[in-house]
Chain A
Amino acid sequence: MTAAVSDSSSIHAALGLTDAEYERICELVDREPNHLELAMYAVMWSEHCSYKSSRRHLARLPTEAPCVLVGPGENAGVVDVGDGIAVAVRIESHNHPSAIEPYQGAATGVGGILRDIFTMGARPIALADPLRVGPLDEPRSNWIAEGIVSGISGYGNSVGVPTVAGEFVSCETYRDNPLVNVAALGIMPTERLVLGRATEVGSAAVLMGASTGRDGIGGVSVLASAGFDEADDDSTKRPSVQVGDPFEEKRLIEACLELLEAGLVSGIQDLGGAGLTCAASETASRGGTGMEVDVSVVPLRQHGMAPFEIMTSESQERMLAIVSPANVDRVLEICTRWEVSATVVGRVTGDGMLRVRDGMDGGVLAEVRASTLHDDAPSYDRPRRPPADLTLRRSVDPAADPAVGSSSASSSSDCAADLAAMLADPSWVYRQYDHQLFLNTVVGPGRDATLLRLRDPRDGTPTGRGLAVSVDGNHRWCDADPCVGTAMVVVEAALNLACVGADPLALINCLNFGNPTHPEVMWQLSEAIDGMAEACDALGVPVVGGNVSLYNETNGTDISPTPVVCLLGVHPDLVRRPIADELPPGTALMLLAPSGPAAHDGGAAVGAAAEHTASVADGSARQVALGGSRWAWERRGCRDGALPELDLAGSVATARFVAAAVRDGFVQCAHDVSDGGIAVAIAEMCCHSGAGVHARVPSLGSPAPAERSLFAEPPGRVLVAVEPGNTERLASAAAQAAITCRRLGSFGGSRVQIGRLAESGLDIDLALDDTRARWRGALPEVFSQPVDGAAA
């Protein structure tokens, strides 16, 4: 007895199960589980599959709205966008695999997310890739970054789905834990919506696609549900990374869509994390049925694979289709035509059990109730605690650094250098991605949001409307305050959509955090969810899906909390491009913002919102805080400080106003003020348009060093370029909407000149040509590549 316990305890611990979880499994199966059964519980009860640390918190997110056809919990969220068209959206992380093997880790992330989309019956039309990597001047981080981008390029381009949006962020916090989040969207006629269910007893389970190998075994439990530490040699975890084949996936997409179009499958499910175990048990438990799987007929890549390997392999490019017996021959025929392997590996039963057999009428290798793999997965209310030094950290003012001086203006050369160092054109990343396939890309990557033509999936007819996508995260904001920071991220996404004339419709999230057994991490996660819920409520936007990636830690150090959101929006009347590529001399530069401190220049009190204004160290309530700003982190090495105040209602009103102004043609182009503050945002408009500028920005508090005015990141602000004849029209419309609107200056000339409204001199005066060259060259230079991609 003693020997038996210690034996099985070593097995369950090696599989990542706790003693308590093991005991619970014994209760559920009413005996000691065998090795195969234990392996199945281990993958299904892993953090990655079961969300056991986050489930109870995720329940606080708003998930309902009239547009929601399918909310969280299925393979993808689905929203109704009108005209009988449904959009499926989903986001996932592939962080841990990408840390070990960047190219394949990122590539298989793309493959997995696409399967989630066409599983629902939708044709994938776009990918988005928010990426976060370590310092690019360090060789290993540089190698990881290049591998991740190549992997997305190699897989996404070949599989034939354009990558239309993304982020590319570099910070020390991601040195050992790069974040590869991948989102996809697909469209379908609303009536074609398919759910991954096995409802009809007697149906066949058909395994389609690639053969099953030893790659990816334990991917969800060994890799994705544990951190890294020094004892890990990468090579020990490399076998847990899957290998992708985009050509197989392309054929699989076409075959599955044809099967769904022909109505030959009643349910379909992709094999992702936890492989066949997950697909079989999910389709059965969702359908209220059971399933028998015959491991002896599963096409294998290697000889001698044990049943537990076959049941938990995460080999890519595989699907499980539930097919009524009468349709099996036609399904196999269509698969043959697409050169997709298809094998009947099981049948749907009525007894609720997941039974693994060696031969369909052969011996039973495992027998567990299918629903226990999901519904009985543990849910933990892990301890939560704010960091002990929270109050102290928030009391710091990054601008009060002795080197800067607490109140006097800094020299203009410092500000200019700070600005130049924060400029980087991301086109080095997205030019490696096909972002134009399907002829929908009206505004591509590199701008505030992506705007796609929305066409009828039945015949390709343009609807005259657009789909907009923005992916956003900001670990600095969320590090300073995970609740408000996350709300600010959601607000930024809405402002980004507004800049291309779109209104928000639905949100999906990817919550990247550290080790959930650290109470500070659980506190961050819980706070972030509250902030997200509040911002989504203010916008009236439901959360229709998400992914939680925990254990992003190395040697006990957790990453900064990094909730990433993908906000989907609709442009109601897409008759012209909402962004002018060029800005003629004399075009006015104007700032739109909530009527709070975000736009004020240190004069009068700032209204009702003032009481929420984050106080800085010197006690002045009028200064906009610099905590969590990119300038503080990157240029002053200061991660402390309070966040600027968020006026949620005012920001939502600003987003609505901007979206309408862009649609009405009041503005030539719009750009939201985000990381790097107003100086970076103005310079980016100059770099995109090739126009110089002379501008004076609000000082954001008095007394204020130039850095506060130029680089602070109070949320809710949008810059717009306006024809001189339209400025008064815009100002009066803004006044009616109770939005602050002020003219900051004009575009034109060959210099980027930025000063403060309250001061006479210039804080920044750079040649436009140099600024553009610096912006264009920043990323190619760090990757030792030519600026335009050509040979040197």
Chain B
Amino acid sequence: MNVPMSGPMSVTVGVVQFPGTNCDLDTLDALAELGARTALLRSDETLLSGVDAVVIPGGFAHGDYLRTGAIARFSPIMGAVASFAGAGGPVVGICNGFQVLTEAGLLPGALRPNAGLSFLCRPQQLVMASVNHAVGHGLSPSDQLSIPINHFEGNYVCDRATLQRLRANGQVVMRYVGNPNGSVDDIAGVCNEAGNVVGLMPHPERATSELLGSADGRKLLEALLSAAASTRQAIGHHAA
């Protein structure tokens, strides 16, 4: 699964696995195909050793029981993820990972059940809204992407003041073209103020090959690897 890339650009991405996570192996595969070293991080671990970026992948952490992400945020690994994010390390939550990051307070807002009250798995047209964040390198605002969505709770909500702040700070990462779930302002992804923590409802790891319908997700994952490489040059491997 690991396909190490030689040279200084080779970075290591940690992928978090909670009980009930199910996109962990897909995310590892997609990152490895792009040349990253990968490490599976179990949710009961308390340290992130030697990773340059963290992905919290999709799935149903702890069965989504109680509320999506509500139990996962208390996992030991989340303390380490918060420290890593606080030090400027790139952290990307995809789908359920996005839900976990909002529950953990690392991203603003929350994700409610889709307005149509049914699960949606389908290709989705998206437009980039900003690029000064962990998955923006190499992309331009208004770039169109086709990436699948796969969620029941993807209806992004936040209060009016937060929405104004997100817009003013360029924290809206991407928007839906044709809002599928009722998200406020068509928001499909947001980042924190520093831009190093990103939440995405679409699944970039599912769009890495034309054979599977789209390769647009590679652009976001490649951007993450660039962000990881920059972080590594700036702050070195995250100290254990």
Closest residue of A by beta carbon distance from B61: A247
Closest residue of B by beta carbon distance from A246: B63
Known: A160-B22, A250-B20, A577-B211. A790 touches B180 (CB 8 A): yes
Instruction: Report the stretch among B74-82, B110-118, B164-172, B223-231 that lies at the interface.
Output: B110-118
Q: Are B116 and A785 in contact (CB under 8 A)?
A: yes
Q: Does B161 interact with chain A (Cβ within 8 Å)?
A: no
Q: Does A313 interact with chain B (Cβ within 8 Å)?
A: no
Q: Are A431 and B115 in contact (CB under 8 A)?
A: no
Interface residues of B in 191-233 (CB under 8 A from A): 203, 205-206, 208-213
Q: Does B163 interact with chain A (Cβ within 8 Å)?
A: no
Q: Does A728 interact with chain B (Cβ within 8 Å)?
A: no
Q: What 1/0 mask marks residues of chain A from 434 to 467 whose CB sits below 8 Å from any chain B CB?
A: 1111110110000000000100000110000000
The CA-CA distance from A442 to B209 in the complex, in Å, is 10
Closest residue of B by beta carbon distance from A466: B211
Q: Does A402 interact with chain B (Cβ within 8 Å)?
A: no
Q: List A contacts of B178 (CB < 8 A).
A: 788, 790
A460 interface neighbour in B1, B19, B23, B206, Cβ under 8 Å? B1
Q: Are A439 and B212 in contact (CB under 8 A)?
A: yes
Q: List B contacts of A246 (CB < 8 A).
A: 60, 63
B19 interface neighbour in A250, A453, A574, A576, Cβ under 8 Å? A250
Q: Are B60 and A157 in contact (CB under 8 A)?
A: yes
Q: Interface extent on B, as a size class?
A: 35 or more
Q: Interface extent on A, as a size class?
A: 35 or more
Closest residue of A by beta carbon distance from B210: A577
Q: What 1/0 mask marks residues of chain A from 528 to 552 whose CB sits below 8 Å from any chain B CB?
A: 0000000000000000000000000
The CA-CA distance from A574 to B209 in the complex, in Å, is 13
Q: Does A433 interact with chain B (Cβ within 8 Å)?
A: yes
Closest-CB distance, B95 to chain A (whole angstroms): 10
Q: Does A607 interact with chain B (Cβ within 8 Å)?
A: no
Q: Are A439 and B20 in contact (CB under 8 A)?
A: no
Q: Does B97 interact with chain A (Cβ within 8 Å)?
A: no
Q: Does A432 interact with chain B (Cβ within 8 Å)?
A: yes
Q: Are B19 and A339 in contact (CB under 8 A)?
A: yes
Q: Are A436 and B148 in contact (CB under 8 A)?
A: yes
A251 interface neighbour in B19, B25, B115, B182, Cβ under 8 Å? B19
The CA-CA distance from A159 to B20 in the complex, in Å, is 7
Q: Are B20 and A158 in contact (CB under 8 A)?
A: yes
The CA-CA distance from A438 to B58 in the complex, in Å, is 12
Closest-CB distance, A468 to chain B (whole angstroms): 14
Q: Are B180 and A789 in contact (CB under 8 A)?
A: yes
A789 interface neighbour in B1, B62, B120, Cβ under 8 Å? B120
The CA-CA distance from A576 to B181 in the complex, in Å, is 32
Q: List A contacts of B212 (CB < 8 A).
A: 436, 439, 441-442, 453
Q: List A contacts of B29 (CB < 8 A).
A: 439, 460
The CA-CA distance from A687 to B182 in the complex, in Å, is 27
Q: Does A95 interact with chain B (Cβ within 8 Å)?
A: no
Q: List A contacts of B205 (CB < 8 A).
A: 439
The CA-CA distance from A711 to B174 in the complex, in Å, is 46
Q: Does A427 interact with chain B (Cβ within 8 Å)?
A: yes
Q: List A contacts of B60 (CB < 8 A).
A: 157-158, 160, 246-247, 250
Q: Please name 11 further chain A to chain B contacts, defined as beta carbons within 8 Å, in addition to the given A157-B121, A247-B60, A790-B116, sorted by A numbering.
A: A157-B119, A158-B60, A246-B60, A247-B63, A247-B65, A427-B122, A430-B121, A431-B119, A432-B120, A441-B212, A789-B114
Q: Are B1 and A459 in contact (CB under 8 A)?
A: yes
Interface residues of A in 155-186 (CB under 8 A from B): 157-160
Q: List A contacts of B150 (CB < 8 A).
A: 157, 434, 436-437
Q: Are B63 and A158 in contact (CB under 8 A)?
A: yes
Q: Does A283 interact with chain B (Cβ within 8 Å)?
A: no
Q: List B contacts of A603 (CB < 8 A).
A: none
Closest residue of A by beta carbon distance from B117: A785
Name, among B19, B178, B208, the residue most crowded by chain A CB atoms within 10 Å (CB to CB).
B19
Q: Are A439 and B208 in contact (CB under 8 A)?
A: yes
Closest residue of A by beta carbon distance from B122: A431
Q: Does B41 interact with chain A (Cβ within 8 Å)?
A: no
The CA-CA distance from A431 to B181 in the complex, in Å, is 13
Closest residue of A by beta carbon distance from B29: A460
Closest-CB distance, A788 to chain B (whole angstroms): 7
The CA-CA distance from A158 to B59 in the complex, in Å, is 7
Known: A160-B22, A436-B148, A577-B211. A789 touches B118 (CB 8 A): yes
Q: List A contacts of B119 (CB < 8 A).
A: 153, 157, 431-434
Q: Does A791 interact with chain B (Cβ within 8 Å)?
A: yes
Q: Does B179 interact with chain A (Cβ within 8 Å)?
A: yes
Q: Are B1 and A436 in contact (CB under 8 A)?
A: no
Q: Are B211 and A574 in contact (CB under 8 A)?
A: yes
Known: A160-B59, A246-B60. A435 touches B121 (CB 8 A): yes
The CA-CA distance from A150 to B23 in the complex, in Å, is 21
Q: List A contacts of B148 (CB < 8 A).
A: 436
Q: Are B64 and A439 in contact (CB under 8 A)?
A: no
Q: Does B190 interact with chain A (Cβ within 8 Å)?
A: no
Q: List B contacts of A158 (CB < 8 A).
A: 20, 60, 63-64
Q: Does A786 interact with chain B (Cβ within 8 Å)?
A: yes
Q: Are B121 and A436 in contact (CB under 8 A)?
A: yes
Q: Does B45 interact with chain A (Cβ within 8 Å)?
A: no
Closest-CB distance, A775 to chain B (whole angstroms): 16
Q: Are B211 and A453 in contact (CB under 8 A)?
A: yes
